[in-house]
């Protein structure tokens, strides 16, 4: 920024006082030219936020847990992929078990959110609502991120140090299916708990054999629910005959 002051000119107003680093003065045609040199503000260099780094670590850890399992994955593997020292990773997670719990929790939240959105959009009967939740569940498992897949890949009994927390997270999600199964018009004497476990077990087993292209996740979920419903309808028919 430059301010020019002419000795022959009358000052009609008082200039504003500005902060500057230094003044450079030169003479030109009986005019004093003052160059006020201002320092440019220093732009702050933004370092990755702790939350961003944590999300990166979770994403990488989820991929390792899906591909190599919990026992086959090391903190060193995850830290190297994240461009961190192993010791730095412990700043975010005190142990590999704690890291798994955080990944597992993220997976449960994603599946839960998908199921809740599907149910909010479904105004059908009890069977149709169950089908909507199953479709959302399976689509998230097969087409979502590694977070959801960790729930199927790593079982609580595989990690004794975190089993209690993993089971608690899983049970919280399954409350949605408990309510959905309780609303079904099943024959008297049906073990609804067993029915629910069979249903979720069938859904969670699909990623182990699924190959894209032959069937869509939604179609598979509909077929699983339809087969269970057909079996229950047959049970009702047989009960009436006897």
User: What pLDDT score was predicted for residue 145?
Assistant: 84
Q: Residue 28 forms beta bridges with which residues? A: 31
Q: What is the DSSP letter of 104?
A: H
Q: Per-residue pLDDT tens for 22-76? A: 444 444 455 444 444 444 444 334 344 556 889 999 999 999 999 999 999 999 9
The reported pTM is 0.73
Nearest to 26 by CA among 35, 36, 38, 39: 35
Q: Per-residue pLDDT tens for 184-238? A: 999 989 999 999 999 999 999 999 899 988 899 999 999 999 999 988 876 655 5
The CATH architecture to which 50-222 belongs is: Orthogonal Bundle (1.10)
User: What pLDDT score was predicted for residue 69?
Assistant: 95
Taking the C-alpha atoms of residue 154 and residue 166, their distance in angstroms, rounded to an integer, is: 10
What is the sign of the dihedral through the CA atoms of 155, 159, 162 and 163? positive
Q: Residue ranges per domain, the chain?
A: 3-37, 50-222
């Amino acid at each position: 920024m430059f301010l020019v002051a002419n000795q022959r000119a009358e000052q009609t107003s008082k200039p504003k006082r500005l902060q500057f680093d230094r003044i450079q003065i030169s003479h030109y045609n009986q005019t004093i030219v003052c160059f006020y040199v201002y320092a440019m503000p220093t732009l702050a260099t933004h370092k990755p936020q702790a939350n961003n780094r944590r999300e990166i670590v979770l994403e990488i850890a989820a991929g390792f847990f899906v591909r190599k399992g919990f026992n086959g994955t090391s903190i060193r593997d995850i830290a190297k992929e994240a461009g961190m020292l192993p010791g730095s990773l412990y700043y975010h997670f005190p142990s590999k078990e704690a890291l798994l719990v955080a990944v597992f929790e993220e997976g449960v939240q994603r599946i839960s959110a998908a199921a809740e959105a599907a149910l909010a959009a479904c105004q059908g009967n009890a069977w149709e609502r169950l089908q909507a939740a199953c479709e959302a569940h399976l689509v998230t498992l097969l087409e979502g991120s590694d977070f959801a897949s960790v729930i199927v890949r790593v079982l609580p009994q595989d990690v004794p140090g975190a089993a209690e927390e993993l089971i608690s997270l899983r049970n919280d999600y399954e409350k949605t299916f408990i309510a959905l199964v309780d609303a079904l018009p099943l024959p008297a004497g049906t073990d609804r708990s067993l029915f629910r476990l069979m249903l979720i077990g069938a859904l969670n087993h699909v990623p182990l054999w699924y190959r894209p292209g032959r069937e869509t996740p939604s179609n598979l979920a509909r077929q699983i629910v339809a087969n269970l419903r057909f079996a229950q309808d047959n049970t009702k028919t047989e009960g009436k005959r006897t």
